[in-house]
Structure formats: structure tokens, C-alpha cells
Amino acid sequence: MGEAKRRKARQDLGPNARVVQPDAPEVRALLEKDQPINVHLLGAGAIELAIRSLTLEELMVPERHAFRLAFETFDRIRAGEIEPWQCFLCGVEHSGMQAISVMAVIERALGEPAPDKPGPVVPICHACDSVSTEETRRRVQAEFGLYGVQEGRA
């Protein structure tokens, strides 16, 4: 696909869909300095299975906030609203659901989510999804410039 077609496809996503880079000012504002951040990795298969098995009331509890954000993006890819989608780690564009492996959701750990910017949700393809969840999480954290909390004994 040529660059003009790619730009046109991005414009067709609508007024509420935007593609931003990890160092964009609006993402940096969400991930404020010294603010604890959660990085959730949700498997594409698990998202679809959970949607079929959970009730609406179960989905609306605050503990499932990250899951709801991931499902919104997952559903837009499935419905063809986001076509093509781009893997966050390698930048390769994919079409449809076949190549999607996990959805990474980055959100603030404390306080209520901001209604206008609840958290970045990024799809990751099968080729970039590592053998271990920890390695995939570490790669996502590195892309956003985040680092894990160090645990140990003094």
C-alpha cells in the first residue's frame, strides 16, 4: 500500500480515533512524573472468551477498567473500524484479527481514569509477542520510557 493510501486509511478512522507516538505530549501528560502506572497484557483470545462469559454488570466494575479499554480497541479492529492496525512494537501494519496476539493497556494506578484520555491501548502482533509475558511487558515499558518497580530487601 502506498503512503497516500495509508494516510487516507488513517483519516477514515473517524474524529475520535488517533494514532499517537509514545512520546506525544498527551500521552506524557497521562503518564505524569512519579505517577504509578499499570501495564496490563491481555491475550486476544482471552478478551473474546471473557466477553462471551461475563455479564454487563461484571464488566462495569472498576477492577475491569483495563479489560474494557482493551475490548473497545479489540472490537474496533474486529469490526473493521481500525483497518489496517499497526503493531506497537515492530510498526508493521496488519489487516484483520489473525495477526493480533495481545493488547497492552497502560493506565494510571492511582485515582480515577481521566474521562478524555483513559489510557493508551496498543495491539501487539504474534511475531513481537515474546515467549514470556514478562519480556513482552518489559518491551512495552521500554517503548513508553517506563520502568518496573524494584522489589527486594534492604
> pLDDT tens digits for the chain (154 residues)?
455 655 555 555 555 555 556 667 766 666 666 666 778 888 888 888 888 888 888 888 877 878 888 888 888 888 888 888 888 888 888 888 888 888 888 877 666 655 555 678 889 998 888 778 888 888 888 887 776 655 555 5
DSSP structure class, residue 81 = S
- Let me know if residue 90 belongs to a domain: yes
Task: Answer yes or no: is 19 within a domain.
Answer: no
What are the cell numbers at 140?
512495552
Residue 8 located in a structural domain = no
CB atoms within 10 A of CB 13: 14
Where do the DSSP E strands lie in 1-154? 37-43, 85-86, 93-94, 100-108, 121-125
In this structure, is residue 12 part of a structural domain? no
Number of domains in the chain: 1
pLDDT score of 35: 67
Question: In this structure, is residue 44 part of a structural domain?
Answer: yes
Residue 126: which domain range?
A: 25-144
Contact yes or no for 98/85 (Cβ under 8 A):
no
At 57 the pLDDT is: 86
The answer to whether residue 10 is domain-embedded is no
